[in-house]
A and B are shown apart, each in its own frame.
Chain A
Amino acid sequence: MSAGEESTLSAYRRREQSTTIAPLEEQPRAHTEAAGDGTRRELLTLNFGPHHPATHGVLRLLVTLEGEVVRDIKPIIGYVHTGIEKTAEDKSYWKVIPVVERMDYLAYYFNAMAFCSAVETLAEVEVPRRAQYLRVIHLELNRIASHLIWLGTSALDLGAVSIFLYCLRERERILDLFEMSSGQRMHTRYFQVGGVIEDIPPGFARKLRDFLKDMPKRADEYGAILNANEIVLQRLRGTGPLDADTLLALGVTGPLLRAAGNPWDLRKADPYSSYEDFQFKIPVGTVGDNYDRFACRMAEMYESVKIIEQALDGLPGGPHITEDRKFALPPRHELATSMEALIHHFKLVTEGFRVPPGEVYYPIESPRGELGCYVRSDGSSKPARVHMRDPSFVNLQALSHMAQGGYIADMIATVAMLDPILGGIDR
């Protein structure tokens, strides 16, 4: 590139391209034999993404390669930054729910759950047990749906195309269930502060049981397809390993941490929303390589099915949302007869409810790890600050540690097993 061309680049582009890497001598050399003839070491910087199907969204990676060996990875993010946290400050609490749902767009129930629980803690709203169970049912269904998308797209990255279609087929059934309970397939806005918006309709339980009967069989089939596939095993076993201590230092939680042998799961460790009522196991791995990550998530789907079965069997009676009229809309029939209900309805819909001043950080276990919602209230009907500690954002930091010293093909598998959701990373 000549000097004339250089100067036409904007300052922004120049700065973006000025990413530096550590000096060559300081970098580990794991696969020296792969780096050419051994007389010359040359580094190649490859721009990977943002529009690459294997990056699972608009993730851009500046990869420094020595031959085929990855020496350094710099994630560049922000391409789908939509300022959701800022938007949330401008809306009353109940209107924030659909906005935060769009952060991690595969695990929308979890975002809503973290936000609603934080607000409930601030406002000291009691959630009825039936609502807690309904929440658990939907959360775990959402976990299966999220893992199905992960499984399908990851298999696609590894060259298995058909499994993607099978996974979407199962996910469709989950989305049908979501549509039954809330009217929406994605970003359902089903969770409300104080409970859930509506009780499950007639026929939901039967359809859910059909699904629960089929799902373990389907998961068996997917496991059979992939676990007997030599290519998949070769690409997953022993690639991208990282030990539990390094993962903890990097703040990684969720299936990635459990794959390394640390059985940390907030559903067990610090139960919320009646998770203590259910019997389930936490799948853990041993060495923390890509295969363990794969196996952990696969096993989690069976456990989620078990939780949903128990929640459905033990579904308590009672209201599906808090009876506190200051926070939940009154039932429709009351509006015709009760002046008070009409006033409550009007206040809730126009201004929204007010939340006592304070700050709360509420963590839950999302499909990708600890999803924490920090809400600060200044006493008005709009939050003064909403922050999501999104697991994808934090887990992404581990990518360069996992993939350094490995081959670039293994990096693809590692990104797939990391399961980053860019909507959650950029928010």
Chain B
Amino acid sequence: MPDATELELIAQELRAAEGSAQASSGSPVLETVFFRGRATLVVESERIGAVLVRLRERGYGFLASLHGVDYYPHEPRLGVIYELLDMHKVDRITVKLRLASATPEVDSVTPQWPTADHQEREVHDMFGVSFRGHPNPRRILMPEDYEGHPLRRDFPVGGEPVLFTYNEGETRGSAP
């Protein structure tokens, strides 16, 4: 893990590099969090692709995990978390972005990081985040015609009909 000082240095570098590239908009790094020995960069959602590429140039070449989280009832409500790993320095950094529930959209990183394919589909499936530019933006674990996003905090548990072959025509979402 980078220590708190190095995290600030990384954030500073990102601010300098990205700030000069796009002078009109603000800093890509909104916040740095150092918690329990783990470093997290909270970045602006529009800049995620560029930030991840910069971090890859710094050595964080392995996207270990990509997952979603719902901060309901706080706003911006949804979060997408990228766990990056530097296999040479054995160093991890977490990149996090927050998305408002009204426009849960973010650029897909699958073109640069093929490992994100299934994981972005899972976040889309479970939280309803759209990944712009994903090559196959479909549900992955839930049925294709499923309504709602089960891992959102306000999604009720239970009470939905189970789809079997015999009631395929009767349940919600099947053909008329």
Footprint of B on A, CB under 8 Å? 7, 9-12, 14-16, 77-78, 81, 83, 85-87, 89-90, 121-122, 124, 248-252, 264, 269-270, 358-361, 363, 370, 372, 374, 376, 384-385, 387, 389, 393-394, 396-397, 426-427
Contact = CB atoms under 8 A, between A and B. Distances in A.
Interface string B151-176: 10101010000000000110001110
B141 A12 contact: no
Nearest to A85: B151
Interface string B53-79: 000000001111101111000000000
A360 B36 contact: yes
Contacts of B173: 11-12
A251 B110 CA distance: 12
B115 A394 contact: yes
B118 A396 contact: yes
Contacts of B17: none
Contacts of B104: none
Nearest to B63: A251
Given A10-B168, A12-B143, A85-B151, A385 B70 contact: yes
B113 A372 contact: no
Given A85-B126, A376-B69, A387-B67, 19 more contacts: A12-B145, A78-B140, A86-B150, A248-B61, A250-B115, A251-B63, A269-B90, A359-B35, A359-B81, A370-B64, A372-B64, A374-B83, A385-B69, A389-B64, A394-B119, A397-B114, A397-B117, A426-B141, A427-B141
Interface in B16-63: 35-36, 38, 40, 61-63
A78 B115 contact: no
B175 A10 contact: yes
Nearest to A376: B69
B108 interface: no
A16 B144 contact: yes
Nearest to B61: A248
B9 interface: no
A341 B116 CA distance: 48
Contacts of A121: 36
7 contacts: A10-B175, A16-B144, A87-B157, A124-B36, A361-B65, A384-B153, A389-B67
Interface residues of B, number: 45
B100 interface: no
Contacts of A360: 35-36, 38
B118 A394 contact: yes
Contacts of A90: 157
Interface of B: 35-36, 38, 40, 61-65, 67-70, 81, 83, 87, 90, 92, 94, 113-119, 122, 126, 139-145, 150-151, 153, 155, 157, 168-169, 173-175
B91 to A, nearest CB: 9
A15 B114 contact: no
Contacts of A87: 157
A358 B33 CA distance: 10
A191 to B, nearest CB: 20
B150 A374 contact: no
The list of the 8 closest CB pairs from A to B, nearest first, reads: A251-B115, A389-B65, A78-B141, A10-B175, A10-B174, A81-B141, A387-B67, A11-B175
Nearest to A266: B90
Contacts of A384: 153
B164 to A, nearest CB: 12
Contacts of B65: 361, 370, 372, 374, 387, 389
A218 B71 CA distance: 51
A14 B173 CA distance: 12
Nearest to A252: B115
B137 to A, nearest CB: 13
A278 to B, nearest CB: 18
Nearest to A121: B36
